[in-house]
Structure 1
Amino acid sequence: MANARGASETRRAIMRSAADLFAELGYSNTSLRAVAADAGCDPALIGHYFASKEDLYSAVVEETVRPAEAIREAMERGDPDAAEWLMRHAVADWNDPVQQRRILGVLRSAADLPAARERLSRSLLPREVADSGADEVKVWLISSLFIGVNTSRRMGLLDPGLAEDDEEMVRALAPVVAAFLAPQGIAGGARASS
């Protein structure tokens, strides 16, 4: 049991280090040797858990970027509070410093490398969500809204009062999200008029 715990802790340390270095340096400038040094393990040990740097990046993305599942759940709820629930879920992620570092690393790396962009894209709409019958356009649009608002917030582009007040952020964005969640929301209306 101690070995399993040690292996799990080592894998988590590698993931944390990779997420931090992807955030700081981007995908292209992050080496597996640097990740191992930061995680305090032998570089060969990374190969035990991850087949390649791309595989490590994919694991970081999968653990970090996960709005589609929450969006699908909000769509299935179908109640008037679903948009507010979803916004609170997003704000909780935005306020978690570890999650923030990982999100920034994923976005920075996606800007660097086409393969990283493809992995991020697949994470925003995983196969199980697409197969669930959820409106893919709405999932993409809500995910994009969350990424844009979160990035603007982190860069100081939003009004400080709004950016620092979670409740105000929820109140401001919940009606927009509710429009996307509605059965004939923005995406449905856009398709109907084209």
Structure 2
Amino acid sequence: MNDSAPRPVRAGRRRGKSETRTHILDSARQEFSKNGFRRATVRAIAKNARVDPAMINHYFGSKEQLFAAAVSLPVDPTEVLRPVHAAPDDQLGAALLTAVIGLWESEHQPAILAAFRSVIAGDDVQLIQTFLLDIVLRGVIERVDSPTGTGLVRAELVASQMAGLLLTRYVLELEPLRSASVDALVQLVAPNLQHYLTGELPI
């Protein structure tokens, strides 16, 4: 055998790690935008990206972590929201606001702000809805669904208040909200959130 003879060249080119990851993220954004978080499946995302579903677990670990990467969040939202899920029902408003504002006040603020601006400026409004209702408030909706059928509207009222607060404080930087302490914000806003979550609604 002649070791110096040229070896046959395989047709096509094998994907590199960065290329595979990019294809998965592109597919995930499309799937989450189209179907939302709960209806989107890892199998469908993998199929559209032309990879084995195991590759998604390899690169991202979980569907929540994949979503976070798809919208460029620097942290796993399940970890941030763990204190919220552990809070009693009558403290949900304060726990939720403390967790979200605490994240925005962390060292991750530049990355989170960039992701927030990018999603707002883009066309994927479904991603915002998915993040708020299927990620941040998913575990809360069933807990506050009293009377039956009000859980979703309660969550949407909370989402509207929190989105407005984040926009005015971190994007528009309106004073004195921009300079208010986290404790002050929680005292000011959490009672409204708590009312939306567990108070009587005129519906």
Unaligned runs of 5+ in 2: 1-14, 30-66, 144-150
1:82 is aligned to: 92
Report the Cα offset of residue 140 of structure 1: 1.9
CA shift in 2, pair 1:146/1:70, >3 Å = farther
User: What TM-score, normalized by structure 2, do the two folds share?
Assistant: 0.53
CA distance in 2, matches of 1:83, 1:181: 7
CA shift in 2, pair 1:70/1:177, >3 Å = farther
Unaligned runs of 5+ in 1: 1-42
CA shift in 2, pair 1:130/1:82, >3 Å = closer
Report the Cα offset of residue 83 of structure 1: 2.1
User: What TM-score, normalized by structure 1, do the two folds share?
Assistant: 0.55
2:116 is aligned to: 106
> In structure 2, which of residues 117, 124, 127 is the aligned counterpart of residue 119 of structure 1?
127
Identity %: 14
Whether the aligned pair in 2 keeps the contact of 1:72 and 1:129 (CA below 8 Å) is no
Matching residue's letter, 1:82: L
1:49 is aligned to: 21
Report the Cα offset of residue 169 of structure 1: 0.9
Report the Cα offset of residue 149 of structure 1: 0.7
Greater RCO (Cα-Cα under 8 Å, separation 6 or more)? 1
CA distance in 1, matches of 2:121, 2:115: 10
Q: Does 1:93 align with 2:103?
A: yes
Matching residue's letter, 1:84: A
Q: Please, what is the CA RMSD of the aligned residues?
A: 3.7
2:192 is aligned to: 176
Bigger fraction of residues in helix: 1
Count of aligned pairs between the two proteins: 140
Matching residue's letter, 2:85: E
